[in-house]
Each structure stands twice: as structure tokens, then as C-alpha cells.
Structure 1
Amino acid sequence: MTHHPAPGRRTVAKGALLAAAATLLSPAAARAAAPVVPRLPAPTGPHPVGLRTFALTDTSRDDPWVPGTGVREVMITVLYPARTVRGYSRAPQLTPVEAQYFAELAPLVRPGLPAAGVDWGATLTHGHLDAPALPGRRPVLLYSPGGGDFRTLGTTLAEDLASHGRIVVLIDHPGDASQVELPSGVRLTVLRPDPDPTVFRTMIDTRVADLRFVLDRLGSLSLAPAMDLRRTGVYGHSAGGTAAVHALAADDRLTAGVNLEGYLDLDPLDGSDRPLLMFRTDGFDGAERLERSWAGLPARRVLLTGSDHWIFADHAFLVPRLQAAGLVTAESRAGLIGAADPSAAVAAVRRRTRAFFARHLPVPVPAARGRHASQ
């Protein structure tokens, strides 16, 4: 395990994590007879979803969080419409190693999440490992997660987009993500809620470079024959939304983008004229800064009411289940995703995001009729 101190970030040793978990253990969690297994909602499209994970190494740049290594490692998960999923197992949201660490990191990364009582490793996605891809070449979407989040916390929206015919690439940003299992080892980071400007600049610059590097490498992957790399888009949540918009402005290969409540005050974006959709919630405590940073930018906007910042990640469905089990308080739930039923907000994000990318990056093959199913 490598530790990389930097202003505005905390790297945490396992012993300290275990001590924190002990002190944060709630009475409800202590009484739980069996750990809760969070579940994710099924995608809505006509196609089953395949999933593959790749480790990529960029030898052209140094990792800014680990100076002197001479390389930057990035993990990606690719979701795609599958021809069949019969005989292919569903992928867990986290590897066993990642789940072990997130169980310890969760209340530090997202205060309000429980320190015990959850089996994070048992949560399954609806992506089937190594299932064969549906024939045809399809638009590609890159996803950058929220600051401090791991890539597969964006599974719910990504699976939905894949089930409707797109290929979605979830990208981890080591040194920023809470935990990433890399070929070289596990990287752990607890990002402070409001990183200082220097750290935020490094985060966004690194994420934009990661996005562009992944785009460079997609043509060499085993799934490349299924990808139409002439039609690519980008979306992201929070810091990932910031990075997505900056990547969209910087890279001509990207056609359209979606910003899920990310600040845009890092650099002027007046020259960006590519299609952009932006979401925000009415509960976000950074709303004033957000609106100032969005002022004058030509983009379609969507407001989600009764919601808060982490509604855009899988917390939208994980947190209510934990609250129902007595592991998350109503106050913590409201501060994470809002007090309202998340179903309507998640449905709106899925529907509006699908429609936006359908307009600007249409799928060439008509969708099959009926709901998707394991075939």
C-alpha cells in the first residue's frame, strides 16, 4: 500500500481505518444480525449488458500523486450491449479487495455511511463478465466519477445507457478515488470535502489527461471492433463533471457531454460550443458557486427537486436500503441524496441523458423490442 500525502487529501493506513470504524460503529449496526447487501436497479433498455475490465498504463507522463514513478496507471470498466448473457456471471460492483477497503473507508469518504453492517462485496451489477458483444459498431461514452468516488459507483446510469445500445467506459482516477485495485497494488485516498485550489487543479488536470489517454487506448482493446470511435461523448459527476466539460472543450474527438453538478469556474469556457447538458439538485450546498460558474455557458439545464449531490451516483439506491436497515439516519440520507424518493430523480437523469446522447450520438442499429433479458 502506498501513501501519498498532499494538501487537501488524506491517505489512510489500514490500522487507522479500523480504529475509525470501531469508533463510528452505530448501535443499529452493532445489532444487525446479518450484513445488508445493497442492490442496484436493473437497466431499462432492450439489450442485456456485458462487462469487461482493463488495466491501462500511460508511460508518457508521471503520476502527479506519486512523483517519480514515470507512469500513470488507470483502471477502466467497459459496459456494452451483449448478444447473449446466458452462461456468463454477473459482475460484483467491487472486487473482494476493493470491498474490504471500502467497508473501512466508507464513513470517512462519505460521512453518514455506516462503518459496519454492510456486505459491499456482495452487491452485484447487471453487467455479465466477458459476455459477447452485440454485432455492430456503437457510440462510446466516457465516464468520470465524483471526487473521491470509485468508477463503479456510476453503474446505474452506465448500465442503462449500455442497455440502450451504447458502450460506456467507467474510469477510475487513482490518487483521488477512495480505493483502486491496480496491477501494482491497492491505492487508497480519502479526499477532503473541499480540496484547496491547488489540489482541485491537479485533480481536474489529471482527470482530463486520464480521459484523453483512455480515448487514445480504446482502439487497442479487445472490444474495439464494437466501438465507433468517430462518435464519442463524455459525462461525469461533480469533479468528474468538471473534467468532462474541460475534456469536451479540449479534445475534438468528443462530440457532446453531460455535466452532473460539477463546478465550471476552473478556467474560462466561453469558446466551448459543443452540445452540453447540465444537471443540478436543489439541495446542493454549493449551488450558488455552481450557478456563478455556469453563467453564460450555452447548455441545456435540468433541476432535480428534493435531491442532493450524490443522487447522481449509485448512492441513490444504496443509501435508502441502508436507511431501511437502520444503518443510515434520515439526516444523513437527506445530506447525501435528499429526502425525496430517489426513483423519480434517477429516472429523469436516465431519460434525459439517453435522449441527449441519442440526439447527438445516435445508435445506428434499431433497438430490439421488449425489455432486455438473460438469453
Structure 2
Amino acid sequence: MTRSPLSELTLDRRIFLRSAALATAGLLLPGTAQARTPGGHTLRLPPPTGPHPLGVTTLYLVDRRRRDPWNAIAVREVMVSIHYPALSTHGHALARQLTPKAAGDFRQIDVPIHGLPSSGVDWAATPTHSASGAPAQPVRRPVLVYSPGGADPRTVGTSLAEELASHGHVVVTVDHPGDGSEVEFPVPRAGREIVRDTVIREDPRLHPRLFRTLIDTRIADLRFVLDQLAVLAAGRNPDAAGRPLPRHLGRALDLRRVGAYGHSAGGTSVAEAMHRDRRIAAAVNLEGYLDQPSGELFPVAREGTDRPLLLLGTDGFEGQPYERSWAAVLARSHGHARRAPRLEHARHWVFTDYAALAPQLQAAGLMSPASRDKLVGTIDPARSVPAVRARVRSFFTRHLA
């Protein structure tokens, strides 16, 4: 299976100090973060820097008011992960970034697309820093919702989600089935497998109707997730399979303080979702277009935003094709939208877990320098990871306090 991605893709003293601390921990430096298992190398995600231990759980959500736009399924299903500050992690195992079933499809879909090695890596072995099912701290905290890039899974945003959760946010990462490369469900349903693959075969920007459907579906998914989080905060269980929830999870959600962030198509989606839904108080667009393939601006760019919107890009995005739409929203938002300095020597997927994983693969001789550069650029992860984390975290700390 092949597809083209939606795009190819001045640090302050505090960021440099944090970079040095992470490098000392040996989890961002290529060649020091790998272990050999019978299935191949085990890659490591950079550790979060906040004071809170972390828990994680998944929710299976079913919107019976919508049909699936991609397959013959009578309802719209959405899978999410929730990362949160944990009361205790004792007796709870660390979750893996990918389950064995999801890892199997990841090898078939993401690996060839992104120039990742087809062998030599145990993709199911990468540990997160979040304890599965751990009880949540019963403290109301700001909620952040994440939408990944086009045809990417929510799991490639794990590192940033954990960083934000470790500093006191509840972070909900969202898969968009049919669009996301591989989405695993807890129960079977007619019209799909347990692990559902993407229908995207090439760049949606080349097909205007497809792109419009993709973005509209993602926006509806995000708004539906907010509806279900309200159910959770009210003390009920929104999981459609009736699976038990971690203790105190509903009490951890402060839905008066909701932010959203997204990468590529996810950045497009969260910016426009904020424009349409006043429950979202602030948003971060990580290198997503704000116009249709025809050049028609999305309403958020055409009309501007009255809530904080951060735009963050790289110098490695070929042709900087989002410039026109970003200029439009900046000009029409009366100071509510702002653009952060670009990441230099970086490419589009530097906003994902690949920022830390690709250099490890290159150091192990499993990924070529050219493939690493095409994916995340030549920037050292000891610089890129803290830079992205600090800019996103400080934005939400400021606007959701």
C-alpha cells in the first residue's frame, strides 16, 4: 500500500538546559536509547519532564447519529487514548506505544511510507511512560485533545501527550478510523476488521472532495469526543464496550478549560474545530493547511479567530504551501493568532514521535541519513523534542490557566 503524505515536510536558555538534562538521561541521544530483543531493537520514547506520574487508558466511542464516511458501517466509531496525572502507578504495567496487532499493520503501512526499516525493530516493544489503568488524581485539570496527521495513527503523538500530561493536563489523543493508518478496536463489527487500515492511498490534497470529507469528518469526530468527555465528567462511562474506567478519571476533567492541538491535517482540523465549537478555548496548528485544495480558505482563515491560535512550522516544508492561509488568519484575528519561529533544519514529522525514533534508527544502521532527513530533518532530537514540547506546553499553560 502506498500513499503520499499531506505534506513533506531560536531556542531560549531554558530549552537548552532542558535539552541537556534529557541528553544526560541518554534517551534522546542516538545510539544510547536502544536495546536488543529477539524481535529486534527496542526503541525508546523521550521521558516526560513534569512532576506527575502518568496513567493511560483507551475509550471506544460510538456515534450512532453518523454513518462512517469511508466504509459501509452504520455508525461512526472513534478510538481515543487518555493520558493523565496518576494518583499511583503501583501494580500497573507500563503501556506500549503499539499493541502487537497494531504493530503488525504498522509494519505494512507506516514502515514503507516513512522509509522506516522493514526488519530489525520490534515495533510492539516500545514502552511508554504511562501506567495502564492507573487511578487518576481526583483533581480537575485542563483537557487537551490531539488530532494526528493525515493517515497517521494517534500513537505517533505519544511523547508530546505524555509531556503535557506530566505537567498537569489530561490529554486525549484521537484516532480517525478509515483515515488513520491503523486503528485497533476492542470488539468486532460488520464492515471492518479488528484493526482497520487507512483508505488513503495518496495525497488527499490532490483530490478536493476527499480532502473536504477527511477534514469535515475529523472536525465532527473531535466535537463528538468532547460530547463523550462530558459524559465521562458527569460520572458515567462512555465506553461503548462497557470496559471499566480508571478510578477518578471523570473527576480529573475540567471541561471549562479545553484546548486542542494537531499535526498536519490534524492542525487544520483543530483550528477549524475551534472556530466552529466554542468549547475549545485555544488551539495549536502544527504545520496544517488552512485552505482547501482549490484555494478556498477555511472559515477560520477567512474570518479570523477570536481565541488563541498558535501556528508552528518548519523550514523543511517544501514551498511553504500553507503561507497564504496562515497569513490570512494572522491578518484577520486581531492579535489572537500568532506564529512561533520556525524550527530550523527540520521537516514535517518532527512534531511526532519520529523526531526521537528516526535518529535512533539511523544510529543503529537501520535507517539511511536521507530517509531520516526526509522524515524529520537533520535537527538533533536533543534540540527538536524540547523545542516542540516547550512551545506547545507554554502556550496552553498561558491560555488555559
* One-letter amino acid matched to 2:101: V
Deviation at 1:47, TM superposition (A): 0.4
Structure 1 residues not aligned, in runs of 5+: 10-31, 363-375
Deviation at 1:353, TM superposition (A): 1.0
Match of 2:338 among 293, 300, 304: 300
Contact 1:56 1:74 in 2 (8 A): yes
Q: Is the aligned partner of 1:124 residue 2:127?
A: yes
Match of 1:349 among 388, 393, 401: 388
Query: Partner of 1:75: helix, strand, or coil?
Result: strand
- Within 2, Cα distance between the matches of 1:123 and 1:152? 11
- Within 1, Cα distance between the matches of 2:171 and 2:256? 15
Q: Is the aligned partner of 1:144 residue 2:147?
A: yes
Q: Is the aligned partner of 1:178 residue 2:181?
A: yes
Deviation at 1:104, TM superposition (A): 2.1
Contact 1:91 1:126 in 2 (8 A): yes
- Within 2, Cα distance between the matches of 1:120 and 1:33? 12
TM-score (norm 2): 0.80
Structural mapping, 1:232-247, within 5 Å: 232-247=258-273
Structural mapping, 1:16-165, within 5 Å: 35-67=40-72, 69-110=73-114, 112-165=115-168
Q: CA RMSD in A?
A: 1.9
* Residues 285 and 197 of structure 1, relative CA distance in 2, 3 Å threshold: same
Contact 1:109 1:191 in 2 (8 A): no
CA-to-partner distance for each residue in 1:77-104, whole Å, 9 max, x for gaps? 0000111212211000111100111122
CA-to-partner distance for each residue in 1:78-133, whole Å, 9 max, x for gaps? 000111212211000111100111122233332x1111221100001111111111
Aligned length, in residue pairs: 332
- Within 2, Cα distance between the matches of 1:186 and 1:159? 24
* One-letter amino acid matched to 1:150: P
Query: Partner of 2:283: helix, strand, or coil?
Result: strand
The aligned counterpart of 1:310 is 349
* One-letter amino acid matched to 2:389: R
Contact 1:103 1:118 in 2 (8 A): no
Q: Is the aligned partner of 1:268 residue 2:271?
A: no
* One-letter amino acid matched to 1:40: L
Deviation at 1:193, TM superposition (A): 4.8
The aligned counterpart of 1:167 is 170
- Within 2, Cα distance between the matches of 1:95 and 1:172? 15
- Within 2, Cα distance between the matches of 1:8 and 1:87? 43
Contact 2:272 2:299 in 1 (8 A): no
Query: Partner of 2:130: helix, strand, or coil?
Result: strand
Q: Is the aligned partner of 1:278 residue 2:281?
A: no
Structure 2 residues not aligned, in runs of 5+: 6-36, 189-193, 233-244, 293-297, 331-336
* One-letter amino acid matched to 1:258: V
- Within 1, Cα distance between the matches of 2:315 and 2:343? 6
Among all aligned residue pairs of Structure 1 and Structure 2, give the percentage whose two residues are the same amino acid.
Answer: 55
- Within 2, Cα distance between the matches of 1:197 and 1:98? 29
